[in-house]
Amino acid sequence: MGWPIGKASELSGVGIETIRYYEREGITPQPDRTAGGRRDYDSGTVAKLRFVKRCRELGFSIAAIKTLLKLSHSDDATCEEAGKIGQQNRVLVREKIADLKRMERALDELVASCRKGRTDCPMLQKLFAD
């Protein structure tokens, strides 16, 4: 007897509905069931849930996490491969940062001249310009 889904959720930080979603999607393994048909989690599956949670917080896609989980349970040297996936993700993260910084700078400029009581709006005008 391990833990029911509510406890697994608490221990891993993954929401109950999300745990069932990960199971449906084949990201985490199907846990045992109790006589009454309820999910019964062992520490290994809880660890995998925690792993998925941390990976998501680092911006990894579900597809990448599936690969990382497979790698982490294979015998061959997988450090290089795992590192590559981490680096690829970092590239994506950096691209997103660059995009958002561009947005921030553009917004700074657009918002700067908006003021109470103006009848024209320079921001809207610039966005509408040819």
Partner DNA sequence: ATAACACCTGTAGTAACTACAGGAGCAAAC
Partner DNA sequence: GTTTGCTCCTGTAGTTACTACAGGTGTTAT
Total site size for DNA, rule CB under 7 A: 21
**DSSP 8-state class, residue 75:** S
CA–CA separation, 29 vs 8, rounded Å?
A: 13
Q: At 62, phi and psi to the nearest 5?
A: -60, -40
Indicate which of DNA, a copy of itself, none lies near residue 117 (CB less than 5 to 8 Å, by partner kind).
Answer: a copy of itself
Residue number with CB closer to a copy of itself (38 or 54): 54
Triad 111, 113, 117: Cα angle to 5°: 110
Name the residue among 64, 82, 72, 25 with its Cα closest to residue 47.
72
Q: Is 51 in the site for DNA (CB under 7 A)?
A: no
Name which of residues 15 to 34 contact DNA (CB under 7 A).
15-18, 20-21, 34
Q: Is 77 in the site for a copy of itself (CB under 8 A)?
A: yes
CA–CA separation, 10 vs 91, rounded Å?
A: 32
Q: Is 39 in the site for DNA (CB under 7 A)?
A: yes
Q: Is 64 in the site for a copy of itself (CB under 8 A)?
A: no
Residues lying near DNA in the complex (CB under 7 A) are found at 4-7, 9, 15-18, 20-21, 34-39, 56, 61-63
